[in-house]
Chain A
Amino acid sequence: MGSSQRTPLLVVAVAALAGAFFAGVLTFDFVAHLDRQVHAITCSVTPGLSAPDSSGSSGCHAALMSPYSSVARRWTWGGIPISLPALAVFAFLLFRSLDLLLAGAARPAQATAFLLAATLLPLFASIVYFLLSVLRLKTLCTLCTALYVASIACFAAALVAHRRAAAGGSLRPVAWGWHIVQFCEGVLFVAIPVLVYLLVKPAYPEQVAHCGGLLHPEDRYQMRLPLARQGGGVPTIEVLDPLCPACRALSLRLGASGLAQQLDREVVLFPLDATCNWMVSESLHPGSCTVSEAILAAGPQAETVLTWALDHQPELRTLGARSEKELSARIVKEFPQLAGALGSPAVKSRLNRSLRWVVANSLPVLTPQVFVGGRKVCDEDTDLGLEYVLTRLLHERSLAPSGVGGR
């Protein structure tokens, strides 16, 4: 095999190694959360050289906590991280390209064609995930982008390798059995790590953990906001800060899970912004008091304003940190009907009642919090484990005698 054929294979190997490295870092970060604690995550192509993200506001965090970071979430706590099969596929491409390099002229016929076909999988997955990032998450994760680049590089180099092999006349027809063996090797590369992951990962207790409930669930202040009610669903209260990244991730996960249809959801606004919330000494999410006022002032349009705020969190947080005036102007530009309502005594008082409801229920000062049928979903289950725990909770409720577990 000449250098003209060896070079593209070498590029495939290097790109696959890089892809495996980035997918490995993503998998490591995901797996770390299986202990159900909060962790800083890597958001750099040079892990260890730059500080990990502990604020929860980076694109990498949004991607990790999004409903698209893993599959089979209803079946196992946290699901299977999509980066795990990605790691396996890149490892397989590394194996295939090294094998071809070492085989030299003795390599099996049409081996480059199979390699090219194998690179289509990460390429296709990268396109899908890039679109999801841009269209749904509205942010890009640095490591994921590195993974997309590695996928493209693998495909491009494999294409060149195959074309050069074809031009060199080294392609001969081979038996179908050869292709099946190659395919099975690829399947094993994915299946075995996934199987090991499922076997070793921590088991969830038989019963859904009890994490308390509400002392005074009644809406005596009439400040809870109903969200697209289904009627007949399980009463669910979400305690949210409209500018908290974890709250947006929760909203996305609930929407994507398909479980929201079984819930009658209401929102209690709990902005972690010192402007209106005396329980925080500094603003975790500057501007969220003003945004909360806008949501409360919007009346029947409250859900629209909430959705808009969740979708524009980074911009609104930046404006909130810079100037309340600019933030108000941005909100009014989007929702002109709110002009005059922001900052008015009536809406301020309403927001204060929302905070007082949180005080009356002695809730922890954190967001998001979810109560299903009056029962609190444990804080550690509101991110990656939400779909799994919610499914179990709804199942337990369906088995419980009528009237048990209601508000």
Chain B
Amino acid sequence: MRSGLRHVALFLGTLLAVTALVAAWVRGAAVRLDRLVAEQSGERAVAVASAADEGYCTGELKRILRRVLTSCGLVQGGSQRGCQPLQARSVAAMSGADFNALFVPLADRAAIIQFDQDSADLDAQAIELLDRTFADQRGASYFLVVSRASPEGSVAYNRELSRRRAESVLQHLEERFHDPDLEREVGLLWLGEEFAQLDREFCQWQRSRPTGPCGGAELNRSAFVAWIDCRL
């Protein structure tokens, strides 16, 4: 009789201990869930995916960029692709040196694609550097192509030559990457020989002919390309 009672007591005691533990744990989770549902306003503390907006994108830089990019067809609402040299000067509303200074923070995101004299053809080195730079988009929203020409020839001819250089870059990107966003992210700016010419400081930047001569003429027979990590 006593052994029967002991058996039942042990049975019930062990079973109750396990059941009570499980009930307490599950009840705790249920209470937490109720509390969370009551507190939840639908907002979650998780970041939402967005384009990059780097620290160098100051208000001043954005204001100038917006003005330049809208006029040059990069920002939605812009009426054309590419700017004429005089237009660039007027939309930038600044000196050539100040204009170039805008791009200094982009040093590691930019490259100088160099051309032969009187040519808009991309050579193998230029293609390699252009592809590498363009593929390194990360979260950038705009790819700026600023082409120039060296002072040989007439102003009008150089203006046209720099336009062809910018378009040569664009055409290559279209053919190579088939990116559906290309139209709204690549902006062309051709400056001919008239405005914001590159000086020798830019010799330190990534160039497609890094070992070649780096005078003013060589530097400006080029298309300066850069991803701009700013949200406008």
Q: Max chain A CB contacts within 10 Å: which of B17, B48, B229?
A: B48
Q: Which residue of A lies closest to B140 (CB)?
A: A278
Interface string of B2-33 (1 = CB under 8 A from A): 01001100110011011101110111111011
B10/A98 in contact, CB under 8 A: yes
Cβ-neighbour of A103 out of B3, B14, B29 (below 8 A): B3
CA distance A102 to B14 in the complex (A): 15
337-367 of chain A: CB within 8 A of chain B: 344-346, 348-349, 352-353, 355-356, 358-359, 361-366
Interface string of A38-64 (1 = CB under 8 A from B): 000000000000000000000000000
Judged by a CB distance under 8 angstroms, whether B47 is at the interface is yes
Judged by a CB distance under 8 angstroms, whether A91 is at the interface is yes
Cβ-neighbour of A349 out of B3, B36, B51, B177 (below 8 A): B177
- CB within 8 Å for A106 and B3 given contacts A84-B22, A91-B18: yes
B179/A353 in contact, CB under 8 A: yes
Judged by a CB distance under 8 angstroms, whether A192 is at the interface is yes
With a cutoff of 8 Å between Cβ atoms, the chain A residues found around residue B94 in the complex are none
A94/B14 in contact, CB under 8 A: yes
- CB within 8 Å for A196 and B33 given contacts A91-B15, A278-B52, A363-B49: no
B30/A363 in contact, CB under 8 A: no
CB of B159 to closest CB in A, whole Å: 30
25-72 of chain B: CB within 8 A of chain A: 25-30, 32-34, 36, 44, 46-52
B177/A31 in contact, CB under 8 A: no
Judged by a CB distance under 8 angstroms, whether A213 is at the interface is no
Judged by a CB distance under 8 angstroms, whether A68 is at the interface is no
- CB within 8 Å for A364 and B48 given contacts A31-B22, A98-B10, A356-B181: yes
CB of A227 to closest CB in B, whole Å: 22
Interface residues on B, range: 35 or more
A193/B11 in contact, CB under 8 A: no
B49/A192 in contact, CB under 8 A: no
A349/B21 in contact, CB under 8 A: no
Judged by a CB distance under 8 angstroms, whether A37 is at the interface is yes
CA distance A349 to B138 in the complex (A): 9
With a cutoff of 8 Å between Cβ atoms, the chain A residues found around residue B26 in the complex are 31, 34, 196-197, 200-201
Cβ-neighbour of B50 out of A33, A35, A359 (below 8 A): A359
Cβ-neighbour of A276 out of B47, B132, B138 (below 8 A): B138
B7/A188 in contact, CB under 8 A: no
With a cutoff of 8 Å between Cβ atoms, the chain B residues found around residue A33 in the complex are 29
B137/A193 in contact, CB under 8 A: no
CA distance A278 to B135 in the complex (A): 14
- CB within 8 Å for A364 and B44 given contacts A185-B11, A197-B26: yes
- CB within 8 Å for A192 and B138 given contacts A34-B30, A202-B33, A364-B47: no
Judged by a CB distance under 8 angstroms, whether B180 is at the interface is yes
With a cutoff of 8 Å between Cβ atoms, the chain A residues found around residue B30 in the complex are 34-35, 200-202
B6/A102 in contact, CB under 8 A: yes
CA distance A192 to B134 in the complex (A): 64
A196/B22 in contact, CB under 8 A: yes
Judged by a CB distance under 8 angstroms, whether B136 is at the interface is yes
CB of B203 to closest CB in A, whole Å: 25
B15/A189 in contact, CB under 8 A: yes
With a cutoff of 8 Å between Cβ atoms, the chain B residues found around residue A92 in the complex are 14
With a cutoff of 8 Å between Cβ atoms, the chain B residues found around residue A32 in the complex are 25, 28-29
B25/A27 in contact, CB under 8 A: yes
CA distance A278 to B140 in the complex (A): 9
Judged by a CB distance under 8 angstroms, whether A114 is at the interface is no
Cβ-neighbour of B46 out of A31, A197, A220, A364 (below 8 A): A364
Q: Which residue of A lies closest to B138 (CB)?
A: A278
Interface string of B127-168 (1 = CB under 8 A from A): 000011011111100000000000000000000000000000
- CB within 8 Å for A345 and B134 given contacts A202-B29, A202-B33, A279-B49: yes
A363/B3 in contact, CB under 8 A: no
Judged by a CB distance under 8 angstroms, whether A28 is at the interface is yes
With a cutoff of 8 Å between Cβ atoms, the chain B residues found around residue A220 in the complex are 180
Interface string of A182-209 (1 = CB under 8 A from B): 0001001100110011001110000000
B10/A197 in contact, CB under 8 A: no
With a cutoff of 8 Å between Cβ atoms, the chain B residues found around residue A346 in the complex are 131, 135, 176-177
Q: Which residue of B lies closest to A20 (CB)?
A: B18
B25/A359 in contact, CB under 8 A: no
Q: Max chain B CB contacts within 10 Å: which of A276, A346, A356?
A: A356
B10/A359 in contact, CB under 8 A: no
CA distance A189 to B19 in the complex (A): 9
Interface string of A362-381 (1 = CB under 8 A from B): 11111000000000000100
B132/A345 in contact, CB under 8 A: yes
A279/B139 in contact, CB under 8 A: yes
With a cutoff of 8 Å between Cβ atoms, the chain A residues found around residue B136 in the complex are 348
Q: Max chain A CB contacts within 10 Å: which of B11, B26, B49?
A: B49
- CB within 8 Å for A188 and B177 given contacts A35-B29, A279-B47: no
Judged by a CB distance under 8 angstroms, whether A221 is at the interface is yes
CB of B52 to closest CB in A, whole Å: 4
A-B contact pairs, 24 of them (CB 8 A): A32-B29, A91-B15, A91-B17, A94-B14, A95-B15, A102-B10, A103-B3, A185-B11, A193-B22, A197-B26, A221-B180, A276-B138, A279-B50, A279-B139, A345-B131, A345-B135, A348-B136, A352-B135, A355-B139, A358-B49, A359-B139, A363-B49, A364-B49, A365-B49
Interface residues of A (CB under 8 A from B): 20, 24, 27-28, 31-37, 84, 87-88, 91-92, 94-95, 98-99, 102-103, 106, 185, 188-189, 192-193, 196-197, 200-202, 220-221, 276, 278-279, 344-346, 348-349, 352-353, 355-356, 358-359, 361-366, 379
Task: Beyond A95-B15, A192-B15, A362-B50, list 5 extra A-B contacts (CB 8 Å).
Answer: A34-B30, A200-B26, A279-B50, A345-B131, A363-B48
